[in-house]
Structure 1
Amino acid sequence: MTVELASKVTGSHLGRDAYVYVRQSTLTQVREHTESLERQYELAARAQALGWAPRQVVVVDDDLGRSGADSSAREGFKHLVADVGLGKVGIIFGIEVSRLARNNADWYQLLDLCALTDTLIADGDGLYHPADFNDRLVLGLKGTMSEAELHLIRHRLTAGLRHKAAKGELRQGLAVGFVHDCDGRIVLDPDESVREAIATVFQRFDELGTARQVMLSLRGDNLQIPRRPTGSTRVCWAEATYPAVHDFLTNPVYAGAFVFGRTRTDKRLDTNGRIVTRTRLLPRDEWEVLICDHHPGYVDWSRWERIQDQLRANWRAPRGHGGGPVREGTALLQGRIRCGRCGRMMQVGYSGPKGVCPRYVCARSKQLYGTDRACQSLGGRKLEARVLEEVFAVLEPASLAATARALEQADTAHRQRLAVFELAVERARYTAQRALRQFDAVEPENRLVARTLEAALEIALAAQRQAEADLTAQRLRRPTRLSDEETAWLARAGADVRAIFNAPTTTWRERKQLLRAVISEVVVTVRAADRQADLTIVWQGGASTAVVLEMNKTGLHSRATDEDTVALVTRLAARYNDATIAAILGKQRRRTATGLRFTKTKVRDLRVSRGIPAFEPTAVTPTHDHDQVVTIAAAEQLLHVSRATLYRWLADGFITGEQLTPGGPWHIRITDQLRHHIVAEVPDGWVSLEQAAKTLGVARQTVLHKVQRGELQAVHVNQGRRKGLRINLKQPSPGLFETP
């Protein structure tokens, strides 16, 4: 130790601890680069040589196996920096600057803290004081070189990796269904059951059109799919899940393509200042390497691209756009109707007694911009019937050929479908036989092992029985073959696509898939004045057909409304507006002829169709006549009593009220006697209802009954804090609210 180095160490430094920071970048280096690790631990002896006692030497090795690129994942470095800031550290030992930090942000933060707290830094070349200009300059250069070294290392590794990937020779982790042969080439898995299970996923997607339906179909048939955990070479079998099915359908390796650079890692700071790393998929045109026909695949590249287009079309469409997968609803043109006025895709709604009658509405402008009403709307049944007429006319020439091909392919498709079940049975039998051999090989006295193997055998036998039952069920679904005579008759008679479309066995999803295969979209423009709609059917391929749809006249459904409801609306229209009438009919659970709830518009249509005049409101000012019938609102003004009190009196029978029909507004009869029993102040000697019940020794309801019968005199106070009913217990007299 030179005198110059020793002169930098003062008593202040020796009074604090010496920290030895030990780090290796990877666990492989920890296991294999033992000489470097020993050199770092030997720095503790150097600290003792400079004057620190053994108990003062703190070895920080929490970051073994962690990269020095940043400090977010290095708890040992964070602890070291914290202790430096608290003034606990006299010197920091590291074999070289790169062990402490590989980026200048962390390195200069440490240097600044060391300069402020008079902390020394020592490496294999010497001892430095960050507060000294020359030492700080040397440490800064070393930090910059360490950061540049990391960049060079990464550049060399990445450049070699990318160069190898560009030739398609980079060996990556293989997806399940592929293995490397003895020459290192990628080939299909030799296990036939694995290949057939993966092929089944693609076959069923062609039939069903969505990844979710494929997953449900596989689960419904108790078919498992192969999976390979990351880093493992063994294939395990598990129930189908949506992520697994989606991975089969979207991974280009199953199309025989070699792909490199499909993802990009983005970094950002969260609200706590921590670095958050996110990996995202890149668009296909941004992939670094794409080599088609690199190895055998389960589908060709063109078919894989069609699958990606279908999956994108199945995404939930943004507002104002069409698309999305076919759903279970009865709207045949869901996602295919475009508004001819604003250009947005029209939404689907359902109505009717059972909620199965579709209606297409363009309400985006109302939802997004607050316009007064929807752009346009029309019923779905008549629109769909008109479009179907054009579709069947287009399909008729091709229907015979399509049916003949379908019959030819039915048996082939069934045999392909059975293959995966047959292989599943074969795999289950092998697993059961293997479990049986293991059970037979164990010594009978070793019950600890025998019980475990016996349980595994029972599970394997149960799986075999289930697989055999599934195979039997699938064999029973074999399509019926047509005889030569039946095939000849079909060639002469042709096929009825309309009958197939309307058959009870055809699901709504299948009907929609057929229409989507033919129709791109239907542009609708409603002419309200003529009660007509102009339709432009855009076929797949770009051709279009223009047709005119005759719409129903307004109010036609109202003519079928029952006469009892019509008579009630006639009586109510003399006193109430359409909104009030709709509310009354709703309380009575009355419905229109089509089973819908009455609304203000539907009441108006009914009146117009039946010639019922509308209610004409007049300004009515409550008067103080001796006897009059007024609304609840007018009674509030005349009697200065709250609406809740009036409704309570009506329910208790204290006052007389009238309703034109059940559920209609109440009207109250105002008399002089009623006015005299509503006062502003409490008369002397009159008590509350609770006090009267307590004095008489009866229930409150009994006191109220006595008031109704006239056995007790009562008034209602409508002002001040003492509002409410007051009872006179001195002498009986006619009761409150008694009808004269």
Structure 2
Amino acid sequence: MKESLKVQPHHLERGAYLYIRQSSMRQVIENVESAKRQYALRGRAIALGWRDEQIVVIDSDQGESGASAAWREGFQRLVSDVGMGHAGIVMGLEVSRLARNNADWQRLLEICALADTLILDEDGIYDPSTFNDRLLLGLKGTMSEAELHVIKARLRGGILNKVRRGEYHCVLPTGLIYGQSGNVTLDPDSQVRETIDHFFDTFSRVGSACQTVKAFRREGLLFPSRLRNSETTVFRPLTASTAIRVLNNPRYAGAYAYGRRRYRRAIDGKKTLQRREHDDWLACIPDAHPGYITWEQFQENLKILKTNGRGYELARASPPREGTALLQGRAVCGRCGKHFRIRYAARRGRLDAWYVCDRAHGYRGEPNCQSIAGPPIDNAIGMLIAEQMTPAAVELTLEIRREIEARHEEADRLRCRAIERAHIEADLAQRRFMLVDPNNRLVADTLEGEWNEKLRVLAKAREDRERAREQDQLVLDEAVRERLIAMTVDFSKLWADPDTPDRERKRLLAHIIEDVTLVKMPAEGTTRIHVRFKGGKIQTLTTMSPKSSAQQVKTPSGIVELVDKLLDRHIYAEIAELLNQQGYRPGGSARRGRRDARFTALLVAYLVHRYGLRSRYDRLRDRGMLTKREAAARLNIHETTLARWAEHGLVTRHAYNAHYCLYEVPASNVPRKQCSRWNRLVDRAAALKTAMAPKPSTVAEGGVV
């Protein structure tokens, strides 16, 4: 009776909200009594004065945990309606049905107090706006949250106790199963086992998850994958994510591991995954069951993956890539001590590699430390490797041949397993078709189609195997054998062979050289290469730095000096012809790929102007040569006469370009006996000029006389 006094008329004018929830679908199906008790609260609301149509039942959160309200849409609707003043009372069987989280519970109490909404549970009615009722409801919420923690702690404690003994059954990765006795064993399917073995062997050989995926694709192999919540195993193309997941799973090393990840709830209710360090795993028991690799090999694989994913801040030997830079991951800057980055530039139809140390520029805006062209460095290192490897060429040849043959045999064995699996599935499809009633065409046609499909898969597997065997045999019998023979005779020939992949060169380099320190000497135009071998020996090489683009197109100084000498006696066109006859070529012609480029008069004129050479005109003027007008005035003859005299050799002229000349006139102090003919010509010309001159006229008065 006292409780009914809390229900006021303004409460009855609003709705009565009944919230129903159970934590899991299993409880919804099996714990039916709890559901009945929650739905029975409708009678309490009617007894308090609410009409049946005023009762709003919210049961959309069935099978949801009460640990948080982020993913419970029904609870969010309840809070929203209470805040808008639609609810006069909120009913729940107990506090734990409404919320197991104290923050969500206190938020609901605050909103109910502001909206003057009552709360009802199995024990009674409460008014959150009063201190005593709110204190009691707060204690109930705290106890509900503590109860959830105690339940989880008990369950978690039992699981962790089994985990420490290695007896808790976790989901096993593909290739491992639980036997009849509950122990972990290898998958009985031989194709699955051999494929996983081949996967780890390939990774040990190539040293990269991505390269392992590429190797499987080249060999036409598929990787096993177990369907979720099923024991069915299918074969799919290998992906990089699958490869990394397999390499990081300690179960393949025969170790029992638990608690490698930590799951947390975010604000929006979603789970966030956080990886634990190896020391923080809840359990790690090596050699707990059979595995595909040893624990030491698993640790080594993790180190390789960590090295591959790490930047150049520390020294590292990354797996070989397809680029032409031979010192990938091994070139160290001789100034700052950091590793060089590799940059490629497409120039003149080829891809040039550059070793660039630009971290100071990227981080602090400072100039690049060093930028060194790759081809001269790589050529010097290649010659050094060829010299070091020549004594052990025969032994290396045999080892490489055994590795290639074993690789091909392993791939062929896996293809045979795929054929066996396809053959078994085809036989099963055939038996199912034979057992069906022939008159039942609806079923018989479907089974016949499945049988035909399995036969096509079997035929394709056989064709793929034959094709792969032919390719492997071709590679081994022709190309590989020839290279191996060449290696035994001359290793440098094989190293310089364009068909040798750059990745293989880098793999060989990794077994010999630890790192290479490069120091560029701009003043000397050289680069010093300090090579540190695996055994600790250090050897220093020096290479010429390649010329810049401007230096490559620059005309050699010897040609400029020769042009300067030829200007004393020849014009531009004659100089160009002489240079071409002597085999000289313009600067930069080889860089542009123009081997047939020739000098021209215009190009010689450009060189004279570009290098500030004294022109032929100035040289002739310094020697006392006169222009045509000056020489004619000196000889007191017409310019046309001067040209005719020059044609007959009476006057010497010197050309300073293709159309104009300067004239050489004898000095006036030359003895007459040394130039008698010249003086007679001068006297005759003066007499003719006098005779042809008009006579003076006499002017008289009245006219001309």
Coarse TM-score class (shorter-chain normalised) = 0.7 to 0.9
Counterpart contact for 2:552–2:588, Cα < 8 Å: no
The aligned residue for residue 369 of structure 2 is 375
Counterpart contact for 2:261–2:275, Cα < 8 Å: yes
Distance 2:354 2:108 in 1: 68
Q: Aligned pair 1:547/2:540, yes or no?
A: yes
2:335 maps to which of 341, 344, 357: 341
Deviation at 1:554, TM superposition (A): 4.6
Cα RMSD of the aligned pairs, angstroms, is: 3.3
SS of the residue 1:58 aligns to: strand
The aligned residue for residue 180 of structure 2 is 182
Deviation at 1:142, TM superposition (A): 0.5
1:153 maps to which of 151, 154, 162: 151
The aligned residue for residue 126 of structure 2 is 128
Counterpart contact for 1:532–1:550, Cα < 8 Å: yes
Deviation at 1:494, TM superposition (A): 5.7
Distance 1:219 1:443 in 2: 43
Q: 1:206 to 1:351 in 2, by over 3 A?
A: same
The aligned residue for residue 72 of structure 2 is 74
2:351 maps to which of 341, 347, 356: 356
Deviations 1:109-161 (A, max 9, x none): 11011111121111122211111211111100000111111112222222222
SS of the residue 1:356 aligns to: strand
Distance 1:213 1:305 in 2: 19
Q: Aligned pair 1:141/2:139, yes or no?
A: yes
Q: Identify the range of structure 1 (29-38 vs 129-138) with the bigger mean alpha-carbon deviation.
A: 29-38
Distance 2:518 2:294 in 1: 39
The aligned residue for residue 56 of structure 1 is 54
The aligned residue for residue 427 of structure 1 is 421
Distance 1:67 1:421 in 2: 49
The aligned residue for residue 36 of structure 1 is 34
SS of the residue 1:6 aligns to: helix
Q: Following superposition of structure 1 onto structure 2, how do residues 198-597 of structure 1 map, counting pairs within 5 Å?
A: 198-269=196-267, 274-315=268-309, 317=311, 324-348=318-342, 349-371=344-366, 373-476=367-470, 477-478=472-473, 496-540=490-534, 543-552=536-545, 554=547, 558=551, 593-595=590-592
Distance 1:538 1:265 in 2: 47
Deviation at 1:186, TM superposition (A): 0.4
The aligned residue for residue 110 of structure 1 is 108
Distance 2:65 2:224 in 1: 35
Counterpart contact for 1:228–1:235, Cα < 8 Å: yes
Q: Identify the range of structure 1 (34-43 vs 278-287) with the bigger mean alpha-carbon deviation.
A: 278-287
Deviation at 1:328, TM superposition (A): 1.6
1:167 maps to which of 145, 165, 168: 165
Distance 1:509 1:529 in 2: 35
Counterpart contact for 1:20–1:92, Cα < 8 Å: yes
| Amino acid of the structure 1 residue aligned with 2:359 | R
Deviation at 1:316, TM superposition (A): 6.5
Distance 2:247 2:309 in 1: 15
Deviation at 1:478, TM superposition (A): 4.3
Distance 1:300 1:73 in 2: 44
Deviations 1:484-524 (A, max 9, x none): xx9xx99xx96754344334442111111222233332111
Distance 2:433 2:546 in 1: 80
Deviation at 1:251, TM superposition (A): 1.5
Count of aligned pairs between the two proteins: 568
Deviation at 1:450, TM superposition (A): 3.2
SS of the residue 1:358 aligns to: strand
Distance 1:404 1:222 in 2: 27
Instruction: Tell me the TM-score normalised to structure 2 length.
Output: 0.74
Deviations 1:233-265 (A, max 9, x none): 221222222222322222111111111111122
| Amino acid of the structure 1 residue aligned with 2:543 | E
Deviations 1:605-650 (A, max 9, x none): x99xx897479xxxxxxxxxxxxxxxxxxxxxxxxxxxxxxxxxxx
Deviation at 1:295, TM superposition (A): 1.0
Counterpart contact for 2:3–2:124, Cα < 8 Å: yes
Deviations 1:160-195 (A, max 9, x none): 222221221110011111111111000001111111
- Computing the radius of gyration from Cα coordinates, the structure with the larger value is 2
Distance 2:451 2:186 in 1: 30
Q: 1:443 to 1:423 in 2, by over 3 A?
A: same
Distance 2:225 2:546 in 1: 60
Counterpart contact for 1:221–1:470, Cα < 8 Å: no
Q: 1:556 to 1:474 in 2, by over 3 A?
A: closer
Counterpart contact for 2:373–2:545, Cα < 8 Å: no
Deviation at 1:333, TM superposition (A): 1.1
Q: Identify the range of structure 1 (375-384 vs 104-113) with the bigger mean alpha-carbon deviation.
A: 375-384
Counterpart contact for 1:525–1:535, Cα < 8 Å: yes
Q: 1:461 to 1:307 in 2, by over 3 A?
A: same
Deviation at 1:292, TM superposition (A): 1.1
Q: 1:286 to 1:399 in 2, by over 3 A?
A: farther
Deviation at 1:98, TM superposition (A): 0.8
Deviation at 1:472, TM superposition (A): 1.7
Q: Identify the range of structure 1 (218-227 vs 256-265) with the bigger mean alpha-carbon deviation.
A: 218-227
SS of the residue 1:187 aligns to: strand
Counterpart contact for 1:315–1:325, Cα < 8 Å: no
The aligned residue for residue 101 of structure 1 is 99
Distance 1:453 1:561 in 2: 80
Instruction: Tell me the TM-score normalised to structure 1 length.
Output: 0.71
Distance 1:502 1:212 in 2: 27
| Amino acid of the structure 1 residue aligned with 2:371 | S
Deviation at 1:320, TM superposition (A): 8.6
Q: 1:324 to 1:495 in 2, by over 3 A?
A: same
- Segments of structure 1 that go 5 or more residues without pairing to the other structure are 571-589, 598-605, 616-740
Q: 1:124 to 1:518 in 2, by over 3 A?
A: farther
Deviation at 1:268, TM superposition (A): 4.3
Counterpart contact for 1:557–1:593, Cα < 8 Å: no
Q: 1:555 to 1:8 in 2, by over 3 A?
A: closer
Q: 1:397 to 1:297 in 2, by over 3 A?
A: farther
Distance 1:36 1:495 in 2: 87
SS of the residue 2:70 aligns to: coil
Q: 1:593 to 1:495 in 2, by over 3 A?
A: closer
SS of the residue 1:298 aligns to: coil
| Amino acid of the structure 2 residue aligned with 1:370 | G
Q: Identify the range of structure 1 (61-70 vs 219-228) with the bigger mean alpha-carbon deviation.
A: 219-228
| Amino acid of the structure 1 residue aligned with 2:85 | G
